[in-house]
Amino acid sequence: MSRKRQSPRNRKIPKSNGLRLVIGLGNPGLDYAQTRHNAGFLALDAIAETHGCRFHRPLFRRYLSADFVRDSGVSIRLLKPLTYMNRSGEVIPRVQRRLGIDVADIIVICDQLDLPTGTVRIKRGGGTGGHRGLRSLVAELGSDAFVRVYVGVDKPVGRDAVVNHVLGVPEGDEAVRFAQGIETARDATLRIIDASIEEAMNEYNRRGTGAS
């Protein structure tokens, strides 16, 4: 007897071969969709497109999620908080507890002002570098042990320009490098899952600006 195929909304992802939670940081809404600050959301979109899965909003939840399973058997849940950047961490502890995973098995993708546009860097733990989304995650999880995949967006001249910069949309050559960075973040994240953070760091942290 054939099995009834479950919709992405109802499917429960298997945990037998491991489970990873990948969080993309950003702001919800069309006004922010293509901004530098939404690098995390855009990278999750790239991962979901690669695997043919779609985001949905669980009933009464303040996030979007999508599930898929890698060829290795590792189950992946992609998650976009809808609480805006400064409160990104609010929805995460409940999801973490429900999935039963360690903080070390969480990967967070976000923008990084201290990297040239398009450059990707991988790091486990450490400070937040003033990134309010990361600061919220650390505060809510009570730990900084999660893996970060940073997408460089470059730093503007003058502190007062930072907000306008991260909430702006790249144009011209910068837009090309930014798009390359999103693709690289996608590939780097999947490399962490399929191999290890050490192998991914060795491969991607050596790359130059905008490498893909």
Residues 72-90: tens digit of each pLDDT: 899 999 999 999 999 999 9
- Give residue 206's pLDDT: 82
pLDDT over 90 at 210, yes or no? no
How far separated are the first and last CA of the chain, in Å rounded?
45
Residue 10 lies in a domain: no
Which is the catalytic residue, given 37, 51, 56, 131? 37
| Contact by Cβ (8 Å): 24, 78 | yes
> Does 8 reside within a domain?
no
* Model confidence band, residue 207 (pLDDT cutoffs 50, 70, 90): confident
The pLDDT value given to residue 153: 96
Query: pTM value?
Result: 0.89
Domain that holds residue 134: 19-204
Q: Is residue 13 part of a domain?
A: no
Cα–Cα separations (whole angstroms), residue 81 to 19, 137, 169, 174, 210:
19, 11, 20, 26, 27
pLDDT over threshold 60, residue 2? no
Residue 212 lies in a domain: no
Query: Is 165 known to be catalytic?
Result: no
In a domain, 200, yes or no: yes
Spatial distance between the Cα atoms of 196 and 72, rounded to a whole number of angstroms: 13
pLDDT digits (tens, 9 = 90+) for 4-14: 343 333 344 44
Mean pLDDT on 179-201: 96
* Residue 5 is assigned to a structural domain of this protein: no
Please provide the DSSP assignment of 7-41 as one string.
Answer: PTTTPPPP-TT-EEEEEE----SGGGTTSGGGHHH
Report the pLDDT value the prediction gives residue 123, as an integer from 0 to 100.
96
Domain for residue 210, yes or no?
Answer: no
Rounded to the nearest 10 degrees, the angle between the axes of helix 132-141 and helix 92-99 is: 50
pLDDT, residue 29, reads 96
What is the domain-level CATH number for residue 145?
A: 3.40.50.1470
Structural element, H or E, at residue 173: helix 172-194
Q: State the pLDDT at residue 159.
A: 64
Does 27 reside within a domain? yes
Number of domains forming the structure of the chain = 1
* Mean pLDDT, rounded, for 105-129: 96
